[in-house]
Structure 1
Amino acid sequence: MGDMARLSPMREMTRVDAIYETLRDRICLGQYNPGDIFHEANLGNEFKVSRTPIRQVLQRLAFEKLAVVRTGVGTIVEGYPDSMVRNYLEIHARLLSMVSELRLTTEPDDREELIATLHFRASRLSADAEPEHFWRLLKALQELCNRLIGDDLVRHMDELLFYRAGPAMMRRARAEPGLALEILQKNVAGILDPLEQRDYSAFFAVQSVNTRRHQSLVGVDV
């Protein structure tokens, strides 16, 4: 599928889904920066689709607050200051703690596949790895976490908070790959035992701690 990101198997991926995830990944990887304008014609040519699906993608990015529509200008990549990103990470950590306390968990049919993807991404990571490898591991952790949440509303909030913080975390990961490697290795190591024991309440308690640890990827010591 090339540059197209893999969608969780909760539903069938559409062309709009695939383009949306590709653009979302590019925003998080810094290939699009805050203030950059999405050009519908260029995107339509790249993905070989009409402007209608491109507009649907841009509307979705704007709805998720990863982009903003400005009259007379177009759809522009949104950016958040580090202070706001740290707040998002704290909210996300508390959300995951709530999932643990209330046991809002489930076991997806593709649990083994998700864990295998996580192990594969982790095995490819090193301090000199390409930024995309760091991002794919972060996404694998996020997707596993998201699929273990048993409530649709909480699942959507989990996803929103992750992607709002994604660009800021990846900026720091590109600047300090050694720090990013240390944090992600601790993240993976901490969740292995709960996963093997199928103790998902414990998993989310650990993941809450991991999310707070990500604050150091936006310039805060933890």
Structure 2
Amino acid sequence: MLSRIFPQIDALRAQLAGLGTDFSLLFLRLIMAYEFGMAGFNKLGGENWFTEIMHKLPFPLNYAPADISWVLASYTEVIAAGLLVVGLFTRAAAYGLVVVTAVAIVSVHWPESYGSLSELWQGYAIRNEGMGNFKMPLLFMLMLLPIVFQGPGRISLDRLLVTLTPLRARVTRGELGLADVGIALLALGLPLAQVMPLPGWLIFVAGAICAGLAWRQSRTESITRP
């Protein structure tokens, strides 16, 4: 009797876990699409205030004309929001918003100066009282990361495209390889470098090294394989 019940319970738990992941990713996509979509539409219908912060933008954006940066940021938010809603090219859309948010943090929400980590932490707030207000964009970045690394879930056009593709992509879960670690570090290091250059670029360089070693390892294996 018990031998029949436990497998059914395990199967039910697996189904619930899968549905929980899919719906969690869907809700994350929708709330992020709403927030960034509204921000993008407000920019398109409002006045360009980038002229006041161009000197704070990271390189090379600080050399671009303010009008181009304004249009680029606006359409990135609007288009990426639409892609998140339908779940199409979802990882690229979410990562684009991570980069946009990192630029917004360093140019708008980051404190002008701080002498210690405790002073920097005072900027983790919603209201700007002279110490920065990077709480909301930081939370948005953290909410986007599961979409970047895990994808949109099964309730998405990406999933439909994979299903309809003759050569279906089957991802086997196993131990992380150097290539996986390298890609993750590269993806995290680039936006972090806009906010905190030293640790961000160190992570980026570490990711590049891991990716290079993985490429070299794959080349060696392909040469030695009979």
| TM-score normalised according to structure 1 size | 0.30
Structure 1 or 2: more helix by fraction: 2
Q: Which has the larger radius of gyration?
A: 2
More strand per residue: 1
Kindly indicate whether structure 1 or structure 2 has the higher relative contact order, using CA contacts under 8 Å at least 6 residues apart: 1
